[in-house]
């Protein structure tokens, strides 16, 4: 059964892929400073390595990851994910090398492919989980889209935490303001999915209904209401909203980023574990 290990995998992968989604988008919009040249791709590469470590440990036998690559089963999203993550790591490495050697044109050439690969590496997990046909909580078209929103939340939060050490325009401007708006928007989208899927939408099956009940008022209720929606959702959203409307201050943005990161991780754990809490038979 999947548990905390899979939630940790989703977190590290989200930070890794989200960092390149943000870096690629900002680069194409003209932000060519140290955050997009070095900081975001380095964060991405570090967390890509951590993701691979978590995945290999979870597979128990490290050679299995190698076998996935050399003996692929193209009907499995695990295979597609392994290739997406490998391509993502390679593109991040090329991006860093191009920045180091002063070749911004190379970064421009690979920005769009990097965005597309990052999108694929982020969202494939939703389709992987959907292959568990007996787990109704994981079915439906929304998981892959929400995973993209969560990845952007997680990566923007990490980049904002390190922004004071990277972005010379941190105090109210520069790329940090763009990151703050990005975090606000992605967090708002994620919360809409959370509320709609778990509080408003009718359950299509009895299995789904029982899993959602466990989230709302069962063993996962405290994490869901207290951290995923409350301290890790509405609270950072409000802090970021006030910050965007007024003057951005370092401590407020950092606090909101940490809370959003905790909320995203809490939800990933709830989603993974609650999806398995209802007996199949």
Tens digits of residue pLDDT in 70-123: 888 888 888 898 899 999 999 999 999 999 999 999 999 999 999 999 999 999
Query: Given this model, what pLDDT does residue 128 score?
Result: 85
Q: What is the mean pLDDT of residues 130-137?
A: 74
Give the domains, in start order, of the chain with CATH numbers. Answer: 4-274 (1.20.1630.10)
Query: Given this model, what pLDDT does residue 267 score?
Result: 97
DSSP string, 173-242: -HHHHHHHHHHHHHHHHHHHHHHIIIIISPPSSHHHHHHHHHHHHSTTHIIIIIIIIIIIIIHHHHHHHH
Query: Given this model, what pLDDT does residue 172 score?
Result: 45
Residue 14 CA to residue 269 CA, distance in Å, equals 13
Judged against a pLDDT cut of 50, whether residue 232 lies above it is answered with yes
Decide which of 223 and 172 is more confident.
Answer: 223
Query: Given this model, what pLDDT does residue 66 score?
Result: 73
Tens digits of residue pLDDT in 7-61: 999 999 999 999 999 999 999 999 999 999 999 999 999 999 999 888 888 776 6
Decide which of 172 and 6 is more confident.
Answer: 6
């Amino acid at each position: 059964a999947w548990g905390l290990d899979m939630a940790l995998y989703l977190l590290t992968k989200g930070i890794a892929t989200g960092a390149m989604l943000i870096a690629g988008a900002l680069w194409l919009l003209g932000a060519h400073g140290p955050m997009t040249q070095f900081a975001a791709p380095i964060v991405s590469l570090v967390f890509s390595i951590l993701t691979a470590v978590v995945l290999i440990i979870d597979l128990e036998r490290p050679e299995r990851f190698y076998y996935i690559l050399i003996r692929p089963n193209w009907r499995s999203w695990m295979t597609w994910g392994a290739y997406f993550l490998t391509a993502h790591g390679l593109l991040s490495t090329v991006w860093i090398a191009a920045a180091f050697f002063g070749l911004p044109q190379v970064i421009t050439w690979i920005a769009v492919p990097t965005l597309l690969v990052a999108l694929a590496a982020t969202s494939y997990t939703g389709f992987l989980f959907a292959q568990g046909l007996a787990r109704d909580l994981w079915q439906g078209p929304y998981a892959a889209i929400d995973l993209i929103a969560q990845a952007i939340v997680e990566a923007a939060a990490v980049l904002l935490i390190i922004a004071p050490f990277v972005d010379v325009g941190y105090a109210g401007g520069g790329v940090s303001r763009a990151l703050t708006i990005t975090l606000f928007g992605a967090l708002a989208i994620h919360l809409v999915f959370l509320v709609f899927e778990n509080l408003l939408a009718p359950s299509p099956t009895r299995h789904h209904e029982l899993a959602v009940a466990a989230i709302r008022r069962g063993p996962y209720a405290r994490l869901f209401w207290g951290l995923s929606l409350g301290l890790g959702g509405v609270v950072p959203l409000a802090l970021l909203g006030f910050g965007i409307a007024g003057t951005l201050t370092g401590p407020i943005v950092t606090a909101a980023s940490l809370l959003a990161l905790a909320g995203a991780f809490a939800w990933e754990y709830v989603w993974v574990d609650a999806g398995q809490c209802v007996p199949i038979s």
